[in-house]
Amino acid sequence: MNNQNLKAFITVAECNSFSVAADRLYLTQSAISKRIAQLEQQIGKRLFDRIARQVSLTEAGAELLPRAQRILTEYENALQAINDLSGEASGTLRLAISHHLGLHRLPTILKQFALQFPNVTLDIEFTDSEKAYEQVLHGETEVAVITLALDSHHNINSKKIWRDPLQFVCANDHPLAKLQQPALEDLAKYPIILPGLNTYTGRIIQNLFHQQGIPLKSTMSTNYLETISTMVEIGLGWSVLPETLVRDLYVMPFDQVTIARELGYIHHTNRSLSNAAVEFLNLLSRA
């Protein structure tokens, strides 16, 4: 099977869209359609149903997808292994990085890596930590730099690099800012703007209040912490944010309650790391 056709198939399946897949692969939509058609002709089965502009896998497509992912991963691993025989860091290093870390922790490290290893091409996807975790678990990404999961899979190696303290914050003119010593029960009286409940950060916050039996008034949620910071600043609610995003917000004093998340990297236990990945993790461990 043609690797480019398989890559097109996998990307359309991930995006549920020919046009979005074309944008991701820097191809025209007609080029994507042609590659899918070639693959369907070779297999003798239709791989996608196209109904009312909706794209979904057929039964044959669902059977092919995990196998196509393994084929492409093995092919890329083989190329990387051959490149690594020279002992030099070269080839492509595929990384998944959370939005927050990409903005606030990694720019200097990425710049240093690019200068030190010019023969390595960085293929970076900025995404949610949870999605990055799944990509590593399924062999789609070599290394992810993320908020570490509360519970780790046995096939995932993880290492903490940073402890990221979280602060209870609100707008400077919010009623909570007038309390000298607020309690968790006081916070629960007002709307909270939460990170998505599917996120590790959201679960940390939820667990804290759940353990105390305190219900929260959540009026809105988003996975983007920068958006939460802005919404808190204009007074739409209070939240819990990393210190790097406090800016002009009021930090509520909670001497008896400490909350933090762990930031670091993960990789699959059964995947041999490329020379480029080893060098990148060396730099990261010295951060």
Q: In which residue ranges of the chain is pLDDT below 50?
A: none
Is the Cβ–Cβ distance between 237 and 185 less than 8 Å? Answer: no
The Cα–Cα gap between 8 and 37 comes to 11
Is the Cβ–Cβ distance between 129 and 242 less than 8 Å? Answer: no
Summarised one tens digit per residue, pLDDT across range 131-190 is: 999 889 888 899 999 999 888 788 999 999 999 999 999 999 999 999 998 999 999 999
Q: Where are the domains of the chain?
A: 1-66, 164-260
Question: For residue 278, what pLDDT is reported?
Answer: 93
Question: For residue 31, what pLDDT is reported?
Answer: 93
**DSSP-derived secondary structure letter, 128:** -
Is the Cβ–Cβ distance between 158 and 262 less than 8 Å? Answer: no
Residue 60 is encoded by which pair of tokens?
């044959």
The Cα–Cα gap between 94 and 40 comes to 28
Sign of CA dihedral 101, 130, 211, 236: positive
DSSP secondary structure string, 189-219?
TSEEEEPPTTSHHHHHHHHHHHHTT---EEE
Residue 63 is encoded by which pair of tokens?
């059977």
Residue 265, C-beta contacts closer than 8 angstroms, at least 6 positions apart: 143, 144, 145, 146, 158, 159, 161, 281, 284
Is the Cβ–Cβ distance between 197 and 203 less than 8 Å? Answer: yes
The helix (run of H) or strand (run of E) holding residue 61 is helix 59-84
Class level of CATH domain 164-260: alpha beta
Question: For residue 112, what pLDDT is reported?
Answer: 96
- Beta-bridged to residue 183, according to DSSP, are none
Is the pTM value of this prediction over 0.85? no
Helix axes 59-84 and 3-15, enclosed angle (nearest 10)? 120
Summarised one tens digit per residue, pLDDT across range 110-121 is: 999 999 999 999
The Cα–Cα gap between 206 and 58 comes to 38
Rg (CA), the chain: 22
Q: What is the dihedral of CA 278, 280, 286, 287, to 10 degrees?
A: -150
Strands (E), 99-187: 120-127, 143-147, 156-170
Same fold, 1-66 and 164-260: no
For the domain bounded by 1-66, which CATH number is listed?
A: 1.10.10.10
Place of tokens 């995990």: 66
In one letter, which amino acid is 285? Answer: S
- Beta-bridged to residue 98, according to DSSP, are 127
Question: For residue 54, what pLDDT is reported?
Answer: 83
The Cα–Cα gap between 98 and 125 comes to 8
